[in-house]
């Protein structure tokens, strides 16, 4: 008698209800797994995008440094060429006057020739 009372308080699900409950539980877990996989894929793709972005920035930085060094080298070469031209011009300042003095016609000699 005690057994009947103990089991009488517990209701069992019908086979259809039990199958429906198991199916709902399976679908709930399936959706949860899909959601977890999608979140994991989002995170992985985010990491990949970050790595690509970082690599691109590093390459741009290296390219910038290389171009800056090349530009600086070209500027230094131009500066050296201009300095050389400037110093050669400074050395040649009095040269024109000296040549003019050397090629100056001798007025006395011309006067004697004319007589």
Q: Would you list the domain boundaries of the chain? A: 16-102
Q: What is the pLDDT of residue 3?
A: 56
Whole-Å CA distances, 39 to 26, 31, 85: 20, 12, 68
Rounded CA-CA distance 26/71 in Å is 67
3-state secondary structure of 12: coil
pLDDT tens, 23-50? 999 999 999 999 999 999 999 999 999 9
Specify the pTM. Answer: 0.52
Which stretches of the chain drop beneath a pLDDT of 50? 1
């Amino acid at each position: 008698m005690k057994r009947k009372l103990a089991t009488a308080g517990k209701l069992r699900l019908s086979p259809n209800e039990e199958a429906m409950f198991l199916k709902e539980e399976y679908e709930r877990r399936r959706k949860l797994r899909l959601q977890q996989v999608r979140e994991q894929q989002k995170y992985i793709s985010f990491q990949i995008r970050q790595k690509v972005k970082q690599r691109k920035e590093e390459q741009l930085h290296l390219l910038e440094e290389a171009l800056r060094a090349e530009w600086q080298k070209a500027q230094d070469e131009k500066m050296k060429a201009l300095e050389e031209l400037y110093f050669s011009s400074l050395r040649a300042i009095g040269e024109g006057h000296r040549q003019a003095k050397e090629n100056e016609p001798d007025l006395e000699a011309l006067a004697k020739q004319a007589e």
